[in-house]
Structure 1
Amino acid sequence: MPAYAIAHLHNPRPHPDIVEYLERIQATLDPFGGRFLVHGAGVEVREGVWPGTIVIIEFPGTAEARAWYESPAYQEILPLRTRNIDGAAILVEGIGPGYDPAVTAETMRRNLPAAS
């Protein structure tokens, strides 16, 4: 199943380090099959508050996503971003083909406490 690295970034401070990070990040992704799905796009907030932007990078699986994030090549450039842009980053496993939310709902319904 695919996995994703997702970053919610805000308060960017323009700096040459950010340019260098952007110039070097793709080379850190390539060995792990990582590719940008969303990068630098504006967001259209429909619920709640969402300051900033989002970055989504897809990997073939969780192992590749972890290996990329922990790789010496990425760890070397990571401070270029974190010193100049606030945010949070997560790794999350995707769902496989044929996922049916009704099946998840059925499982949840069976585990609900009985109504009294």
Structure 2
Amino acid sequence: MTSTLHLCSTCQNFDVATISERLARHLPAAAITIETYPCLGGCGVRGRASIAADGKWSWLFNAISTSDALDSLIDFIVLWQESPDGLIEKSKRPRGLHRHFLGRLPPIAG
């Protein structure tokens, strides 16, 4: 199953090549695609990102603009990919990402 990492490209100029490279160290190349969008909303806080896949809970993050937050996001994506439904218990989520969670959305019933 391919997952998609969505990144806001207007308020935060993410280095997609570096993010791809870092994700590839932990996940198979075909496991995730990265797409940038001109706006993911909430422009008062830079660095919006989301992760989504069919049949899994989707997650929305903000302020992914520091290397610590990005490292934690990558750690979270690895856990999320390994989870069958995309739910990650709070106690297992990377500590560095706790204040960056905006919410989660349930899988779309097919």
TM-score bracket, normalised by the shorter chain, equals: 0.3 to 0.5
Higher relative contact order (CA 8 A, sep 6+): 1
TM-score by length of 1: 0.31
Q: Which has the larger radius of gyration?
A: 1
Larger helix fraction of residues: 1
TM-score by length of 2: 0.32
